[in-house]
Chain A
């Protein structure tokens, strides 16, 4: 076995790239769930973001604009879910699943003319001085904008939930919507905003797959990343930094197992391949065995202003 062919700097760099789509989707979903809404449509919103981002980037030759449009359109797309669940009181689980199915179908339809086309990719930022540091520069300071943005987003969400009044209102709505309503907070409005935020970041995550990680459009290309993002939110017990940690662990194990295989590790590859999922399950078991999982108390419950 020869591991000298694995370059740690490149490994960490690849790990961050592979973790970013699920990180973006998961941080948005964490906010949605913190407000008490379970949106299982992450996969659908991601793939809509992936196709919209790709279409815009190809037509304008500006990947950044692709990301912006992906966020906007996925945000709008998530309003469908918001309208149905918040105003028409439909079942959140069923509606979320429906959103995924609609997203997969819609993206396939929109993306058909773009299959097999190449997109302009996001250029890595050259940060003066930092990018030139040996090892560390390659590892941490030569990424594209979206990777830094995803970390910035995690920081912002953490700060928002912890230190701002609006963040507190959002958490209150998620913990006990009746009490929040009695206090005069607009439960439905808060949740709609959270849902749109979740849609927008999922869209960014999807666009990151089609514009940076792969980069191309293929029908069904998110291939379950949205479901992993959902699992990571639970894995992180709804805390922003743990979402980052969870996403990087998942991305890390995925990339590491591919690298170990490429380096000819004699560990049976089945174990390596299942390891990300196995670790997720183990962590979920540990978390739930501790009892308090930190789930928002009103998660997934429908809200009627009358009750």
Chain B
């Protein structure tokens, strides 16, 4: 009996070793939330699963979820690199400096940091032009609000989030000059209770549209509980809240990018790059616009989506003034990526300050 189990164990471990040897490339993923948040992290994990499916045995993936931003993430990345990962995707803004630090220690390991701006020979950055989706949300929000108050749950006051607020606001104001944005910063990407509290506070103050830039579906649940409030899926479709409160969504589709980058490592062609794709290349998807949205508004939103996808329309097209009234973009001028990437100001009409 004993001998038998020893042999069985030996065979099993041989099998494991063989499987480990068979994989040509090991890809690691560092997540800020749980893979089951049905938002940001969920979509990254869908990308990871797509990599596994695409490459089969040639690629092995590992992931670590709920990794706090900051020093702890450095430990997780180091661990992954030590365990033989060849390519590591770090999927939150707050991992930027830890990624750079760890990348210095492991020059042979390739790193890919999402939504950041710091690169190195073995560190690429990638992000999606979420603001394109925000423009469409802003349009629908401006058309549909009855109280003219739109709530916005911000996570951290970083350019990524500020850009989204500006884009949504510009397009809401365009169709509804009376619309106001009430912005709440909660300083976390993922805390369902706090996100729900923030949504409730906004709704109690009369907001009938709630936009979120946080990762969980809690604001959707809060809006549904309150009734008569519309929301948009963030990062993922959040389809379980269709048709109300969720009337549309921004869906991040990372799978093609993850597959392409893994392929590059397999081929030995990986170089440090900076990718920022939007609706056109398919990195940003717009989820189904539900029946709660009037047909004409839906048609306008879809038309805007097509115009953005084809490049005919840029969501930041002048004339746009900064909050203090100074001119940012002259009529017909479009924003350059540099300004967008560092955006730390509100456009004219938004009340309050960007926390510095």
Using a CB–CB distance below 8 Å, which chain A residues touch chain B? 5-7, 10-11, 14, 17-18, 21, 108, 111-112, 115-118, 121, 209, 213-216, 218-225, 254-255, 258-259, 261-264, 266, 268-270, 273
B80 interface residue per 8 A CB criterion: no
Q: Using Cβ atoms and an 8 Å threshold, which residues of chain A touch B184?
A: 258, 261-262
Other A-B pairs beyond A262-B151, A273-B186, 16, CB < 8 Å = A7-B204, A14-B200, A14-B201, A111-B36, A116-B36, A116-B38, A214-B221, A219-B35, A220-B190, A221-B218, A223-B194, A255-B201, A261-B182, A262-B184, A262-B198, A269-B185
Q: Using Cβ atoms and an 8 Å threshold, which residues of chain A touch B188?
A: 223
Q: Using Cβ atoms and an 8 Å threshold, which residues of chain B touch A270?
A: 187, 355
Q: Beyond A259-B201, A262-B151, is A213–B182 a contact (Cβ under 8 Å)? A: no
Q: Using Cβ atoms and an 8 Å threshold, which residues of chain A touch B206?
A: 5
Using a CB–CB distance below 8 Å, which chain B residues touch chain A? 33-38, 66, 151, 182-188, 190-194, 196-198, 200-202, 204-207, 216-218, 221-222, 224-225, 238, 240, 351-353, 355
Q: Is the CB of A261 within 8 A of B221?
A: no
Q: Beyond A5-B205, A258-B201, A259-B201, is A216–B217 a contact (Cβ under 8 Å)? A: yes
Q: Is the CB of A121 within 8 A of B36?
A: no
Question: How many Å lie between the Cα of A213 and that of B196 in the bound state?
Answer: 7
A259: contacting residue among B37, B187, B190, B204, CB under 8 A: B204
Q: Using Cβ atoms and an 8 Å threshold, which residues of chain A touch B222?
A: 214
Nearest-CB distance from B84 to chain A (Å)?
25
Nearest-CB distance from A184 to chain B (Å)?
45
Q: Beyond A118-B224, A121-B225, A218-B192, is A255–B197 a contact (Cβ under 8 Å)? A: yes
Q: Using Cβ atoms and an 8 Å threshold, which residues of chain A touch B217?
A: 116, 216, 218
Nearest-CB distance from B213 to chain A (Å)?
14
- The contact sample of 16 A-B pairs, CB cut-off 8 A, is A10-B204, A14-B200, A14-B204, A18-B193, A116-B36, A116-B240, A214-B222, A218-B37, A219-B36, A220-B34, A254-B194, A258-B197, A259-B205, A261-B182, A262-B184, A262-B207
Q: Is the CB of B201 within 8 A of A118?
A: no
Q: Is the CB of A223 within 8 A of B205?
A: no
Q: Is the CB of B240 within 8 A of A14?
A: no
Question: How many Å lie between the Cα of A264 and that of B196 in the bound state?
Answer: 19
Q: Using Cβ atoms and an 8 Å threshold, which residues of chain B touch A112?
A: 36
> Which B residue sits closest to A272, measured CB to CB?
B185
Question: How many Å lie between the Cα of A121 and that of B226 in the bound state?
Answer: 12
Q: Using Cβ atoms and an 8 Å threshold, which residues of chain B touch A10?
A: 204
Question: How many Å lie between the Cα of A273 and that of B191 in the bound state?
Answer: 14
What 8 A-B pairs come out closest when comparing CB atoms?
A219-B34, A258-B201, A115-B36, A223-B191, A221-B192, A5-B205, A261-B184, A10-B204
Q: Using Cβ atoms and an 8 Å threshold, which residues of chain B touch A121?
A: 225
B36: contacting residue among A108, A261, A263, CB under 8 A: A108
Q: Using Cβ atoms and an 8 Å threshold, which residues of chain B touch A268?
A: 355
Nearest-CB distance from A68 to chain B (Å)?
22
B198: contacting residue among A118, A222, A258, CB under 8 A: A258
Q: Is the CB of B198 within 8 A of A21?
A: no
Nearest-CB distance from B32 to chain A (Å)?
11
Most buried by B among A116, A259, A264: A116
B221: contacting residue among A17, A216, A262, CB under 8 A: A216
> Which A residue sits closest to B215, measured CB to CB?
A218
Question: How many Å lie between the Cα of A261 and that of B221 in the bound state?
Answer: 21
Q: Using Cβ atoms and an 8 Å threshold, which residues of chain B touch A209?
A: 192-193
Question: How many Å lie between the Cα of A258 and that of B35 in the bound state?
Answer: 27
> Which B residue sits closest to A18, measured CB to CB?
B197
Nearest-CB distance from B92 to chain A (Å)?
15
> Which B residue sits closest to A255, measured CB to CB?
B197
Q: Beyond A7-B204, A118-B224, A262-B184, is A214–B34 a contact (Cβ under 8 Å)? A: no
Q: Is the CB of B218 within 8 A of A273?
A: no
Q: Is the CB of A263 within 8 A of B196?
A: no
